[in-house]
Every structure is written in C-alpha cells, then in structure tokens.
Amino acid sequence: MGRIFVVELEGRCYRCKFCETHLALAEDLISRAFHCDRGKAYLFSKAVNVTVGTLEDRMMRTGLHTVGDISCCCCRHIVGWKYETAHENSQKYKEGKFVLERHCLVGESTFFSDISIRTPSTVSPSVSDVEDA
C-alpha cells in the first residue's frame, strides 16, 4: 500500500470524528437538511481526504440515484456517500455532490453528542437522502 497524502484545509472545516482528518470546508456546505439512516446529514459541494467506493443504484426517498459510499482515507470509516447520477430531473443538482453523515463529523470547535462507531464489519449502506421541508 502506498503513502497516504492528506489535504489540510484552512478555515472552518468539518473533520472525521474517528481520526480528526479534515473532510470539508464549512463554506462548501450546501444544505443541512439531509437525512441518513442514523440521523442528520449535510450536503457539500466538495470533500477531501475521502475515497469513493463501488458505485451502485440505490432507491432513496427522493428517487433512484447512482451513489458510492465515501470513506475517510485515513481511518477507512464510511462517513457518507457521493452522488454520481440522479435519475430524476428534479434531483440533478445533487450530481457530483457529497453527503457527510453528522454522527461521523466533528465541526470547528463543536463536538456533536452522537456517539456511534461504525466499523467495516457493521456498516450498512445509507439509503435515505430526504430533505427537510
């Protein structure tokens, strides 16, 4: 296995709760109104220090999407998913965007109280992407 190069973000950022690796800038946050199986999730225009898993079609609350789970490049915990394709025209704005699950994040000087550790043996794909009204 090769060397892992980690991007250090400047400014307010969200980090992996499990290893503190920078994942996304607060300024790239698009929406806090998303949900996953374990609670709230945030939609970002960009994410760093993540790897995208195998793409698959998932039926979510807002329709069929082609997505890949994203994992922290350092600790390998699944922290969300990336939208590759939205099959409904009203959902096309999600294409190429990243969803980070709140319970996997630590924000700038804010520690969320949700404690749940996801290991590769206990991870199940998230299938919810509905937005709050």
Report yes or no: 59 and 66 within 8 Å, Cβ to Cβ. no
Enumerate domains of the chain plus CATH numbers: 13-106 (2.170.150.20)
- Convert the pLDDT of each residue in 2-46 to its tens digit: 677 899 999 999 999 999 999 999 999 999 999 988 889 999 999
Distances (CA, A) of 35 to 31, 60, 100: 11, 11, 10
Q: What is the mean pLDDT of residues 104-116?
A: 57
Enter the tokens of residue 33: 């109104």
Q: Which residues pair with 43 in a beta bridge?
A: 31, 99
What tokens does 61 get?
């609350």
Alpha carbon distance 75, 45 (integer Å)? 22
The overall pTM is greater than 0.85: no
pLDDT 10s digits, 68-78 = 999 999 999 99
Cα–Cα distance measured from residue 34 to residue 48, given in angstroms and rounded to the nearest whole number: 20
More confident position, 130 or 121:
130
pLDDT of residue 25: 96
pLDDT digits (tens, 9 = 90+) for 82-103: 999 999 999 999 999 999 999 9
